[in-house]
């Protein structure tokens, strides 16, 4: 099932947004991507539960077409618990308990903008405004964090970042934590705004995440370029 879903999303006739098909089309047929599809098919055939569900694997791309990207927030792995991951970094499906890192993101947003969130952790409204919520690895096995790392996804998402960096101007890249900062090392800071801090995880947030005011800084930059600000309220 997941193999068929992957083929659907990666084919020209599939659900992957047409703008991303044009930008990434050559990458989708690379040998490493074929190997990745085979790996996912074997995992599924072995009875393993993979998150997010197949239709959500490319959710970030389908909610945020290439030419509409304004902000990129880079995460690492999808959440690996039931009902959580739905293809957007840091986001969880509606009705799911808000994870600690996302709770800290909301806490910083309230301090920065005075916004009190509704209690939903579904960040789809951000994605629909041009915030690409990009995980480095797009799938994971249930209850096994990092289980699909180094299978090919990182190369794919490196290409996404590279092409955004090269083909777009004036984007905001948000790099929380050392992993995201290493992944974003290729970004041209003469063309784009790059915001860096420690990760919002409870293990590190008090060492430099809180007080950075990333959300107001993003909006100030967008407005300075004649764009509407992101409406962060959920």
Identify the residue whose tokens are 């539960």.
49
Active site residue 26: no
Helix H or strand E segment including 40: helix 31-45
pTM: 0.94
Q: Which two tokens stand for residue 80?
A: 């690996």
Residue 105 near residue 148, CB atoms below 8 Å:
no
Calculate Rg over the CA atoms of the chain: 17
| Residue of 17, 26, 77, 169 with catalytic role | 77
Q: How far apart are CA 228 and CA 12, in angstroms?
A: 32
Q: What is the pLDDT of residues 99-152, one digit of tens each?
A: 999 999 999 999 999 999 999 999 999 999 999 999 999 999 999 999 999 999
In the chain, the N- to C-terminal Cα span, in Å, equals 34
Task: For residue 224, report the phi and psi dihedrals to the nearest 5 degrees.
Answer: -65, -20
* Overall size of the chain counted in residues: 234
Helix H or strand E segment including 223: helix 214-224
Identify the residue whose tokens are 């959440």.
79
Helix H or strand E segment including 109: helix 100-113
Give the number of other Cβ atoms within 10 Å of residue 43's Cβ.
Answer: 18
**Burial class of residue 205 in the structure, from the number of CB atoms within 10 Å of its CB (0-12 exposed, 13-18 middle, 19+ buried):** buried
> What would the DSSP string read from start to end of 135-170?
ESS--EETTBTTTTTTSSHHHHHHHHHHHHHHH--S
Give the three-class secondary structure for 196: strand
Per-residue pLDDT of the chain (234 residues; tens, 9 = 90+): 444 555 544 443 335 788 998 998 788 889 999 999 999 999 999 999 999 998 999 999 999 999 999 999 999 999 999 999 999 999 999 999 999 999 999 999 999 999 999 999 999 999 999 999 999 999 999 999 999 999 999 999 999 999 999 999 999 999 999 999 999 999 999 999 999 999 999 999 999 999 999 999 999 999 999 999 999 999
Q: What pLDDT score does 10 carry?
A: 46
């Amino acid at each position: 099932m997941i193999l068929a879903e992957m083929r659907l999303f990666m084919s020209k006739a599939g659900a992957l947004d047409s703008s991303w098909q044009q930008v990434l089309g050559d990458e989708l047929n690379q040998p490493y991507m074929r190997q990745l599809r085979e790996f996912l098919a074997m995992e599924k055939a072995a009875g393993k539960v993979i998150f997010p569900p197949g239709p959500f694997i490319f959710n970030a791309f389908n909610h945020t077409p290439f030419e509409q990207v304004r902000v990129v927030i880079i995460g690492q792995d999808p959440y690996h618990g039931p009902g959580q991951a739905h293809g957007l970094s840091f986001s969880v499906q509606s009705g799911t308990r808000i994870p600690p890192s996302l709770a800290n993101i909301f806490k910083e947003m309230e301090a920065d903008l005075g916004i009190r969130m509704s209690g939903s952790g579904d960040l789809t409204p951000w994605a629909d405004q041009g915030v690409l919520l990009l995980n480095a690895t797009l799938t994971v096995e249930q209850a096994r964090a990092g289980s699909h790392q180094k299978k090919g996804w990182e190369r794919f998402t490196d290409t996404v970042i590279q092409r955004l960096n090269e083909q777009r101007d004036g984007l905001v890249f948000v790099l929380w934590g050392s992993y995201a900062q290493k992944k974003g090392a290729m970004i041209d800071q003469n063309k784009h705004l790059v915001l860096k801090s420690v990760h919002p995880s409870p293990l590190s947030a008090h060492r430099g995440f809180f007080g950075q005011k990333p959300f107001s800084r993003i909006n100030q930059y967008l407005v300075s370029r004649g764009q509407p600000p992101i409406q962060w309220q959920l």
